[in-house]
Amino acid sequence: MIFFDVTKAGAAGHRSGLMRVSARLADGLGPAATEVRWPAWNRVVRPADWFLTGELFSEEERPGFTAFLATRPCRLAAIFHDAIPLKHPQITWPQSVARHPGYLKLLARFDRVWAVSATSRDELTGFWRWQGVANPPPVAVLALGADFNSAPRIASVAPRSALNPQLLCVGILEPRKNQALLLDVAEELWREGLRFELHVVGRVNPHFGPPIVARLKALRKKFPGRLRYHEAANDGAVAQLYATARASVFPTVAEGCGLPLLESLWLGVPCVCSDLPVLRENTDGGGCVPVALNDRTAWKAALRRVLTDDAHHTRLTTEATSRSLPTWTEAAQTILTGLRP
């Protein structure tokens, strides 16, 4: 039996990347796994059973969890996302920064771990080496699914005119997602006379997001009809925005995997993104334009070209719709295969 931990996913009112991973894996695992929540789960297990979690945890948030890991009433498996709170503490929730070292240490008590990218795997194993962890568990890479909201893959896309095209940026409003850079670049392009719409989708990080919201509001006044913000867009609304977008934009500073990039490709939309090692794991397959992080001149040139050069855009779209992409069914099967006796 596999007991799949959905403690936070089941209670969350929003759909972050972590929440989407839990929800889509739960769908893929289906009847092979039983969903459980801490502390409501009665924890009656057999030694051959598996406890599988893709969530972040700490003893403070889950009293008794450390003892559960220590007593090992069953086998333990986890999905690791990233070490961003350690690498970028200045732009991460203070609570997350304080929790993360203990969380990474607790992961070393599991029997096996999957990381959502090779970059994340290397960060985790590097942390364990730095901490002197003896006999750490094996860490494999789990390719997350690109299939957005169970929607069928877009196999072909009709040409989208360069006349007043649309760009789409999806992600929580916070410094890590780097919407501030995108807004600065968009303003310069608008001032230079380039006509396009920018759609920004994402809830607001209450700790870091308000200045970005203020910047959005100011730009909307300067350029009426050019900038649209969708805070509470559901998956259906986001899919409709992708259906009219000429390209997605992902100027992120740090990621564990980069699901918005994969989901954009699944829906046939090229992605202009930060040139990060973790994103390179997926951009090299085609359909993407990696741009040097925070290089405003390079970002202006990349966005101008994808907005105005139809041949360039057609090539990117063809790559996006024809390349191989992972699915959540495959991700779930990877886990099921790994948890077999």
Instruction: Please name the residue ranges forming H helices in 249-295.
Output: 259-266, 277-283
Q: How many angstroms separate the CA atoms of 22 and 27, rounded?
A: 9
Closest CA relative to residue 257, chosen from 149, 121, 150, 126:
121
Strands, E, within the chain: which ranges? 2-5, 33-36, 50-53, 75-80, 112-115, 139-141, 166-170, 197-201, 227-230, 247-250, 271-274, 288-291
Q: How many angstroms separate the CA atoms of 215 and 279, rounded?
A: 27
Q: Tell me what the mean pLDDT of segment 88-96 comes to.
A: 93
- How does pLDDT run across 281-337, given as a tens digit for each residue? 999 999 999 999 999 999 999 999 999 999 999 999 999 999 999 999 999 999 999
The sheet with strand 197-201 has its strands ordered as 227-230, 197-201, 166-170, 247-250, 271-274, 288-291
Q: Tell me what the mean pLDDT of segment 124-128 comes to.
A: 98
Neighbours of 224 (CB within 10 A): 7
CA 289 to chain centre: 18
Cis? peptide before 138, omega within 30° of 0: no
Q: Tell me what the mean pLDDT of segment 109-117 comes to.
A: 98
Query: How much is the pLDDT for 15?
Result: 63
Answer yes or no: are the C-beta atoms of 141 and 119 closer than 8 Å: no
Closest CA relative to residue 260, chosen from 160, 156, 179, 163:
179
Query: How much is the pLDDT for 205?
Result: 94
Q: How many angstroms separate the CA atoms of 36 and 46, rounded?
A: 15
Q: How many angstroms separate the CA atoms of 340 and 338, rounded?
A: 6
Please name each of the domains of the chain with its CATH number.
2-145+327-338 (3.40.50.2000), 149-322 (3.40.50.2000)
Is the model more confident about 42 or about 177?
Answer: 177
For 9, which DSSP code?
A: T
- How does pLDDT run across 214-259, given as a tens digit for each residue? 999 999 999 999 999 999 889 999 999 999 999 999 999 999 999 9
Whole-number average pLDDT of the chain? 94
- pLDDT bracket for residue 159 (50, 70, 90): confident
Query: How much is the pLDDT for 56?
Result: 94
Closest CA relative to residue 172, chosen from 250, 110, 106:
250
